[in-house]
Structure 1
Amino acid sequence: MQFSLKGGAGISGFDRYTLHARVFPVTVVSFPLLLAVSAWIPFAQWPLRLAGGGFVMVIAAFALAQLARDAGKALEAPLWKDWGGPPTARMLRHSDPTFEPPVKATIHSQLVRLSACERMPTSDEEKADTESAEAVYRLCGDWLRRKALQLKNVSPFDVVHQENVNYGYHRNILGIADAAGYVTEAVEKVLNKRGWGVEFFPPIGTSNENEMSVTQFAYLNEKKILLTADTGRDGLQEIIDYAPYVGLQLPGIDKFQVPHHGGRHNVTSELLDTILGPKLDDKPTSFRFTAVISASDEDPDHPRKSVERALWHRGAYTLSTEHSHIRTYGGSAPGRGWGAAQPVAYPEEQEEWD
């Protein structure tokens, strides 16, 4: 059985199909990059950060559009195998029940009339030579797709073209689904560690033993001093609740002893916001208060970087006893040749979530 097949030009160039079916899927995958880049851009104003992140996302989307198409095409063959062939070619078969025989006969005759092919195989020819018949059906499907692109602004081909765009979008986004997961996971880890203002504290608090610690407040030399010992989140909340009864207005601490050697199970962002003040938009050039962490070189787990970052985020001049002995004083003090204590450097990363 011989059939004469007619070819034609393929889809190329930049058009609505390229934008919606190739660029948009990568844009969806690239969205986490916008968040990551926005967090790193050294501007305090979020509109500028978002603009910078959005620019990177758009560039990445256009640069990776072809990769999205390739990933979708690679997925297409196994999908078609599961479906029993390309959807259009499958529906043109005499054996396919999608259309009633009279409707299918009309479709076949119209395709011949429009020169999609010279003639369509009969039902018997399809049974006798499935491969040749399938080639004709697939060619007709390709012709319809090209014709829909050529007449994409003319009814009824505009509807066909839009459906082809929708198919390409879903095929390509399915093809890059695994890559999207990897990108999201990687960016999530980066954002959990880096970026000004990003801090993480585990959901579980400290031990009951630590929560039994005695906390102290003093007003000395016109400075508000808060000593928290090893207390945890419950103890800090009690400080917040009791503060009005001793005339302590929060935030407003001048000297803050960080709970439990800078442990991250002892604090939360909300508690620190209430006691020390909200996060700053950017790294401070001057400090709001002094935070002291009692830590030892022999304890590698303290202080936690997430806690040090949180103190910086709220404008703390953060000091640690981890590598030296320090003292803080107010007013005049005898000259002993002491130098100013150096603050803890801002950690660019923090511990994993678990």
Structure 2
Amino acid sequence: MSTDSYERHTQLLPASAVLAPISLLPLVTFRADDAADLIRSIGSLVALGGVHLIVMRVVRDRGNAIQQRLWASWGGNTTVRMMRWSAGSAADMRLLRARVEERTGIKLPSPRAEQRDAVAADAVYERAAGLLREATRDHERYPRVWSELKHYGAARYMLGLRPAALVIAASVAVLSAGLLWLSIAGTWQTGCWPFLVAGLFAFVAGLLWAAVVTPEYVRTASERYSDALLRSAGN
């Protein structure tokens, strides 16, 4: 799969998740009871589809920006960190590094060399990681690497959009509550249930974004991808 295809794949889920509360409200409000309602529903879907495409571009920019901040807070690129001598026992690291060296043809720094110049050592690890990424582009041969890469990409993009997602969910919840009140009061000539469903959905979505989509959530996905990438050196 090409880079553009990967980007579209990992951005579509976060973009759809962010806009889900907005998507649900018009769909449950404009029910297809007759031809006019059906036309409005289709129009809403078409309009939202265009918005999704715009949001996908924002997703990419936000995700790439937040990745650099996350790496800085974690002490570097996850794959690089997992190749440092401090990442595991001496025996485990010797085995891992032997496999990486055999697969990439790059001589990795010794413990003394890494301690003497950590920046130079990380540069070597990054080159080795880059070669591993290039060597695992066959998704059928390395399905776990591809699967973990997609999960990490989606998690990173979702964290980048978390502030917008919380604002949207809160806005839809408040709007739905207002429309529900108008419906109960008889001012809005529509049943109560569409606004109740949309409001509850937006509220739950906001809770999930706040509780689940955190830097630790992305870190776990990143470590799983790096583990899969490094283990591919033994295949």
Do the structures match in fold with TM over 0.5?
yes
2:106 is aligned to 118
For 1:12, the aligned partner's letter is: T
1:145 is aligned to 133
1:129 equivalent in alignment to 2:117:
yes
For 2:92, the aligned partner's letter is: V
2:11 is aligned to 22
Residues 47 and 166 (structure 1), Cα distance of their counterparts in 2 relative to 1, 3 Å cut? farther
- Tell me if the contact between 2:32 and 2:41 (Cα under 8 Å) persists in the aligned partners: no
- Tell me if the contact between 2:101 and 2:107 (Cα under 8 Å) persists in the aligned partners: yes
1:181 is aligned to 166
- Tell me if the contact between 1:35 and 1:53 (Cα under 8 Å) persists in the aligned partners: no
1:8-47: CA deviation from partner (whole Å, max 9, x where unpaired): xxx62214x531x211011100112212332565843587
- How many angstroms does 1:52 deviate by? 4.8
Residues 54 and 145 (structure 1), Cα distance of their counterparts in 2 relative to 1, 3 Å cut? farther
- Tell me if the contact between 1:38 and 1:52 (Cα under 8 Å) persists in the aligned partners: no
Q: Any stretches of 5+ residues in structure 1 without a counterpart?
A: 1-10, 202-267, 270-305, 315-354
- Tell me if the contact between 1:22 and 1:69 (Cα under 8 Å) persists in the aligned partners: yes
Residues 111 and 189 (structure 1), Cα distance of their counterparts in 2 relative to 1, 3 Å cut? same
1:77 is aligned to 68
- Tell me if the contact between 2:15 and 2:52 (Cα under 8 Å) persists in the aligned partners: yes
- How many angstroms does 1:108 deviate by? 2.1
Query: Highest CA radius of gyration, 1 or 2?
Result: 1
1:67 equivalent in alignment to 2:67:
no
Higher RCO (C-alpha under 8 Å, 6+ residues apart): 2
Residues 180 and 42 (structure 1), Cα distance of their counterparts in 2 relative to 1, 3 Å cut? same
Residues 50 and 88 (structure 1), Cα distance of their counterparts in 2 relative to 1, 3 Å cut? farther
- Match for residue 307 of structure 1 among 168, 186, 189: 186
1:303-327: CA deviation from partner (whole Å, max 9, x where unpaired): xxx4332xx448xxxxxxxxxxxxx
- Tell me if the contact between 1:22 and 1:65 (Cα under 8 Å) persists in the aligned partners: yes
1:14 aligns to what SS in structure 2? helix
1:95 aligns to what SS in structure 2? helix
Residues 70 and 313 (structure 1), Cα distance of their counterparts in 2 relative to 1, 3 Å cut? closer
> How does 1:181-200 map onto structure 2 within 5 Å?
181-193=166-178, 198-200=179-181
- Cα RMSD of the aligned pairs, angstroms, is 2.9
User: Higher helix proportion, which one?
Assistant: 2
Mapped to 2, the partners of 1:126 and 1:59 lie a distance apart of 50
Q: Any stretches of 5+ residues in structure 2 without a counterpart?
A: 192-235
- Tell me if the contact between 1:37 and 1:52 (Cα under 8 Å) persists in the aligned partners: no
- How many angstroms does 1:181 deviate by? 1.0
For 1:18, the aligned partner's letter is: R
- How many angstroms does 1:70 deviate by? 1.9
1:171 equivalent in alignment to 2:159:
no
1:89 equivalent in alignment to 2:80:
yes
> How does 1:6-45 map onto structure 2 within 5 Å?
12-15=3-6, 18-19=8-9, 21-38=10-27, 41=30, 43-44=32-33
Instruction: Report the count of equivalent residues.
Output: 188
- Tell me if the contact between 1:31 and 1:57 (Cα under 8 Å) persists in the aligned partners: no
Paired-residue identity, %: 21
- How many angstroms does 1:61 deviate by? 2.7
Mapped to 2, the partners of 1:87 and 1:13 lie a distance apart of 23
- How many angstroms does 1:142 deviate by? 3.1
Range with bigger deviation, 40-49 or 180-189: 40-49
- Tell me if the contact between 1:33 and 1:187 (Cα under 8 Å) persists in the aligned partners: yes
- How many angstroms does 1:93 deviate by? 0.4
Residues 108 and 51 (structure 1), Cα distance of their counterparts in 2 relative to 1, 3 Å cut? farther
- Tell me if the contact between 1:34 and 1:50 (Cα under 8 Å) persists in the aligned partners: no
2:219 is aligned to none
Residues 141 and 52 (structure 1), Cα distance of their counterparts in 2 relative to 1, 3 Å cut? farther
